[in-house]
């Protein structure tokens, strides 16, 4: 009588890729224009000058789990105006810059936190180093973006934030 060997099931936990610097998330900036997935600052400058399509902006918003209302507030554009645009409408330079800044911030946050979901949770949680504000509430100004980037840098290097 032969004994049947049970199939072994092994559960292994993989270490996060970010621990080895190997994390390569889909480029969020690339959502604004596929040719900008790996871009230089001059590529982004040209994208800002050309403008970002409403379709690309909505794609970015969906990827980073922000509502059209939240994106409109960050970009200083009325939600109604944004909704009136056709998908192909190019959003002009000053608003395109904000969209690029937003994509770069979320890409950086994803690198630091390992996943976009972890970063989204952090963005919506009041933070002591940001005067008790949720980082998401600071995105209405460039200074707020800079404060968040500085905080991400501290987190990356293990400084209490």
State how far Cα 57 lies from the chain centre.
12
Closest-CA residue to 72 (of 87, 86, 62, 83):
83
Rounded CA separation 161/158 (Å) = 8
Helix or strand run (H / E) with residue 91: strand 90-91
Structure tokens at 136: 């998401």
Nearest 5°: CA angle at 25, between 110 and 104? 55
pLDDT at 101 over 70: yes
Question: How buried is residue 37: exposed, middle or buried, by Cβ count under 10 Å (0-12/13-18/19+)?
Answer: middle
More confident residue, 2 or 146: 146
pTM of the shown model: 0.77
CA-based torsion, 80, 146, 17, 38: positive or negative: positive
| pLDDT digit string, tens, across residues 34-62 | 555 556 788 888 888 889 999 999 999 99
Rounded CA separation 41/13 (Å) = 37
Q: What is the pLDDT of residue 23?
A: 37
| pLDDT digit string, tens, across residues 57-94 | 999 999 999 999 999 999 999 999 999 999 999 998 88
* Domain chopping of the chain, boundaries: 26-154
Averaged confidence pLDDT in the chain = 82
**What confidence category does residue 10 fall into, taking pLDDT thresholds of 50, 70 and 90?**
very low
């Amino acid at each position: 009588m032969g004994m049947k060997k049970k199939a072994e099931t092994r559960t292994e936990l993989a270490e996060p890729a970010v621990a080895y610097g190997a994390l390569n998330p889909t480029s969020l900036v690339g959502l604004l224009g596929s040719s900008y997935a790996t871009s230089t600052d001059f590529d982004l400058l040209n994208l800002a000058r050309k403008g970002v399509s409403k379709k690309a902006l909505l794609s970015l918003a969906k990827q980073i789990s922000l509502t059209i209302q939240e994106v409109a507030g960050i970009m200083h554009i009325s939600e109604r105006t944004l909704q009136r645009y056709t998908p192909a409408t190019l959003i002009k330079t000053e608003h395109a810059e904000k969209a690029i800044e937003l994509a770069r911030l979320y890409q950086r946050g994803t690198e630091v936190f390992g996943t976009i979901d972890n970063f989204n949770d952090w963005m919506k949680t009041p933070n002591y180093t940001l005067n008790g504000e949720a980082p998401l509430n600071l995105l209405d100004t460039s200074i707020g973006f800079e404060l968040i980037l500085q905080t991400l840098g501290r987190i990356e290097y293990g400084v209490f934030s």
